[in-house]
Chain A
Amino acid sequence: MTLLYFVELFELDRDARQKKIATFKLLEEEGGTVEIEGDHEHPVVEGIKGEGIFDYKYARPGKLYPQDGMNFLENLKYHFGSGYLLATDVKKQVIDN
């Protein structure tokens, strides 16, 4: 049994419908890089992969990237909180091997 941690990122379209841009996934047993499921060429996904995001939760210096694993995952909701872009909290799912 493996735990999958994930965050979903949504954007609001012109008609006020939320569209999922990407799901950021981290497998417990991998203990490493966050995998991104979705359109990798979407400007938002490209943007955060390139620029990173701050560690809002623990205020550690520097930027976080997908390779920072859970730290990156936990901070997505702080980075994307405008309403036009919204990330969920970290969700957990049990996967049967």
Chain B
Amino acid sequence: MPEGHNFEKHETSPQAKVDFESILEKGEIKSARTLEGYWGMQLVEIKDDGDALFRPDMYSDFIFEAKEMEIRRSDLELMSYKIDQILEFNLVPTVTDRTIGELKGTLQRRIQNFHDGYGTEWEMEVRPEEITRAAIFDYLLDVKDRHHGNFIIDSDTGKLWLIDHDFYMFFWEQARTLLVEKALEKGLATLGGFEMTSLERFLAHADSLTIGAKPEIIEIIKKAQDRAEILLEEGQIPVDNA
């Protein structure tokens, strides 16, 4: 792959800003290789533009059907990305919906320079504002199943990426995101001016996200609107949400 089209190279090169959405939506697929594992994921090579992770919806449809939900996995991934974009936190890797072969699903930018959240000292490698914003994102969307495998870290840059926005992330009542807990523990749960502006922007755009959306998405966004108000009023993530 030409180095100039490597996703990660662009990450540290702001003057060469790449439109990841267009690449993922329209890029010519050169090859697709099914990965080992249950969910039918594929590593997709995009001609001249690196690779990405394709996640077909059909492998997780049974989870939503069992709960009689209208949404599918891709709805949750796309919602998470759109809200992250409105907040301008840049925590969720670019994702678009895409059909590959006969399979509908999502195609997501693959983060190359990373390690997962397992290991005891991960928070020492991450920029403090990344932890604050990730905790705000998780609190806002009432994210639940954010365990050590559901975020990844670029330890060279201190960048945090939030991944795997599936059914369990939003509807698994037994779990609580560990990122809110970590932000509170480290004294990183207070909002600064950037985060305040982000939440105001979210409130200004939130209603537009519900237009034509499926009921479960509307429910998540309505709750997020209430939580954005709480965050703006209190100036921090409420302690009782750890």
Q: B174 contacts A54, CB within 8 Å?
A: yes
Within 8 A of A (CB), among B10-63: 35-39, 41, 43, 51, 53, 55
Chain A, Cβ-Cβ closest to B119: A43
Q: Does B163 contact A (CB under 8 A)?
A: yes
Q: Which of B119, B152, B174 has the most CB of A within 10 A?
A: B174
If A16-B43, A81-B37, A86-B36 touch, whether A54 touches B175 (CB-CB below 8 Å) is: yes
Contacts of A14 in B (CB 8 A): 112-114
In the assembly, what is the distance between CA of A79 and CA of B77, in Å?
17
| A-contacting residues, B164-185, CB 8 Å | 164, 166, 168, 172, 174-175
What residues of chain B lie closer than 8 Å to A85, measured between beta carbons? 116, 149
B205 beta carbon closer than 8 Å to chain A: no
The reply to whether B41 and A83 contact each other, CB–CB distance below 8 Å, is yes
Q: Which residue of A lies closest to B148 (CB)?
A: A47
C-alpha gap A7/B32 in the complex (Å): 24
A18 at the interface (CB under 8 A from B): yes
Name which of A16, A59, A61 has the most chain B CB atoms within 10 A of its CB: A16
> Which of chain A's residues has its CB closest to B53's CB?
A83
Given A82-B149, A83-B53, A77 contacting B119 (CB threshold 8 A): no
Measured between alpha carbons, how far is A62 from B152 in the docked complex, in Å? 25
Number of B positions contacting A (CB below 8 A): 32
Question: B172, A54: Cβ atoms under 8 Å?
Answer: yes
Tell me whether A43 and B163 are in contact in the complex, defined as CB-CB below 8 angstroms, given that A16-B43, A56-B168, A87-B38 are known contacts.
no
- Tell me if A89 and B152 are in contact (CB < 8 A): no
Q: Is the CB of A84 within 8 A of B36?
A: no
Query: Contact string, B144-155, partner A, CB cutoff 8 A, digits 1/0?
Result: 010111101000
Whether the pair B35, A81 counts as a contact (CB closer than 8 A) is no
Judged by a CB distance under 8 angstroms, whether B110 is at the interface is yes
Instruction: Kindly state the interface size class of chain A when it binds its partner.
Output: 20 to 34
A43 and B150 alpha carbons, distance in the complex (Å)? 14
When distances are taken between beta carbons in the complex, the residues of chain B under 8 Å from A11 are 116
In the complex, are the beta carbons of B35 and A84 less than 8 A apart? no
Question: Which residues from B are CB-within-8-Å of A20?
Answer: 36
User: Contact at B37–A86, with CB atoms within 8 Å?
Assistant: yes
Judge whether A79 and B149 touch: CB under 8 Å: yes
Please tell me if the beta carbons of B118 and A43 are within 8 angstroms of each other in the complex: yes
State in angstroms the CA–CA spacing of A11 and B148 once bound together. 14
**Residues on the B chain within 8 Å of A86, using CB:** 35-39, 41
Q: From residue 11 to 37 of chain A, which have CB atoms closer than 8 A to chain B?
A: 11-12, 14-16, 18, 20
Chain A positions within 8 Å of B, measured between CB atoms, are: 8, 10-12, 14-16, 18, 20, 43-44, 46-47, 51, 54, 56, 59, 61, 77-89
